[in-house]
């Protein structure tokens, strides 16, 4: 799950003047000045908090010294972080789901995830595979709810890896369904009606035990 950032907290300058009224606006290059720090503290912003430091880091990363922000925009950005400075996913209210430059490559490894979540994904994948004749309909799929349920069961630091692990299981399930459909009808391809009963003999455990390509730690 990649993070989508709203850059509304930044105002770019145009021909030497801000696009908005400069009164009460703060230039990013002046954020650490004593006058700005006093202004922020007077507005009730704790500049020593992890929430503020996370918001400041975000502004500095995505802006430049010539850009402007304001107190309310800073407060709005701070509301996207918890007291530990961790980004809060707006869809789930959970932390630990931000893909960053630092973790982009490290979270992609198999970890143990609850059997109940794997079962939920298996049943949904099977149902949708049958309903959509082997295609994946992004408009109707309920996959996101399965992933969100999984994230709520996992520790913050394991959520990204748990999601990646679930993707591997999901892929395995769909591969098994497609293989069974082709076995029942060698001419079958995605989008064509699936032979009646073609998936009846497939269980989650049979799929997981038969796969050797992924080291599944259960």
* pLDDT tens digits, one per residue of 8-42: 666 655 444 444 444 568 989 999 999 999 999 99
Measured between alpha carbons, how far is 28 from 18 in angstroms, rounded to an integer?
13
Are 196 and 147 in a shared domain?
A: yes
Q: Is residue 96 in some structural domain? A: no
The Cα-based distances of 55 to 61, 65, 73, 84, 165 in angstroms read 10, 15, 10, 12, 30
What local confidence, expressed as pLDDT, does residue 139 receive?
93
Is residue 153 in a domain? Answer: yes
Domain membership of residue 89 (yes or no) is: no
pTM, whole model, 2 decimals? 0.80
Residues 50 and 127 in one domain: no
Q: Are residues 59 and 121 in the same domain?
A: no
Q: Express each pLDDT in 167-209 by its tens digit.
A: 999 999 999 999 999 999 999 999 999 999 999 999 999 999 9
| Whether 44 and 131 share a structural domain | no
Give the model's confidence band at 67: pLDDT under 50 very low, under 70 low, under 90 confident, else very high. Answer: confident
Let me know if residue 193 belongs to a domain: yes
| Among 188, 190, 205, residue whose Cα is nearest residue 131 | 190
Domain membership flag for residue 2: no
- Position 68 pLDDT exceeds 60: yes
Residue 87 forms beta bridges with which residues? 81
Quick check: 83 and 51 in contact, CB under 8 A?
A: yes
Domain carrying residue 180 = 115-210
Last residue of a domain, one of 60, 79, 98: 79
C-alpha distances (whole Å) from 147 to each of 24, 27, 85 are: 42, 40, 23
Strand partners, 11: 68
Q: Would you place residue 65 in the very low, low, confident or very high pLDDT band (cuts 50, 70, 90)?
A: confident
User: Is residue 140 included in any domain, yes or no?
Assistant: yes
Q: Is residue 91 part of a domain?
A: no
Supply the pLDDT for residue 101. Answer: 84
Residues 119 and 197 in one domain: yes
User: What is the pLDDT, as a whole number, of residue 215?
Assistant: 44
Q: What value does the mean pLDDT of the chain take?
A: 88
Annotate the chain with DSSP letters as a single string: -------TT-B-EETTEESS--TTEEEGGGTTSHHHHHHHHHTT--TTSHHHHHHHHHHHHH--TT-EEEHHHHHHHHTTB-TTSPBPPTTT--SS----TTTTTTS-S-----HHHHHHHHHHHHHHHHHTTT---TTT--HHHHHHHHHHHS-GGGHHHHHHHHHHHHHHHHHHHHHHHHHH-TT--TTSPPPTTTTTT--HHHHHHH--SS----
Structural domains in the chain (count): 2
Which of these ranges, 4-8, 37-41, 45-49, has the smallest mean pLDDT? 4-8
Residue 120 lies in a domain: yes
Per cent of the chain over pLDDT 90 is: 73
Is residue 218 scored above 50 in pLDDT? no
Are 201 and 148 within 8 A, CB to CB?
Answer: no
Instruction: Kindly state whether residues 119 and 55 are assigned to the same domain.
Output: no
Mean pLDDT of 73-97: 94
pLDDT at 12: 57
């Amino acid at each position: 799950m990649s993070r989508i950032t709203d850059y509304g907290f930044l105002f770019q300058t145009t021909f030497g003047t801000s696009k908005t009224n400069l009164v009460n606006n703060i230039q990013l290059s002046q954020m650490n000045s004593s006058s700005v720090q006093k202004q922020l503290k007077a507005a009730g912003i704790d500049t020593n908090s992890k929430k503020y430091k996370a918001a400041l880091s975000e502004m500095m990363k995505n802006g430049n010294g010539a850009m402007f922000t304001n107190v309310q925009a800073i407060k709005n950005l701070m509301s996207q972080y918890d007291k530990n400075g961790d980004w809060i996913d707006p869809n789930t209210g959970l932390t630990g789901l931000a893909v960053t430059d630092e973790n982009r490559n490290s979270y992609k490894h198999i970890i143990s995830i609850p059997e109940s979540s794997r079962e939920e994904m298996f049943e949904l994948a099977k149902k949708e595979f049958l309903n959509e004749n082997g295609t994946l309909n992004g408009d109707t799929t309920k996959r996101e709810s399965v992933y969100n349920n999984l994230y709520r069961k996992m520790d913050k630091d394991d959520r990204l890896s748990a999601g990646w692990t679930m993707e591997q299981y999901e892929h395995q399930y769909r591969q098994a369904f497609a293989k069974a459909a082709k076995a029942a009808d060698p001419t079958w391809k995605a989008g064509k009606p699936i032979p009646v009963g073609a998936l009846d003999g497939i269980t989650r455990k049979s799929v997981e035990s038969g796969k050797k390509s992924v080291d599944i730690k259960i």
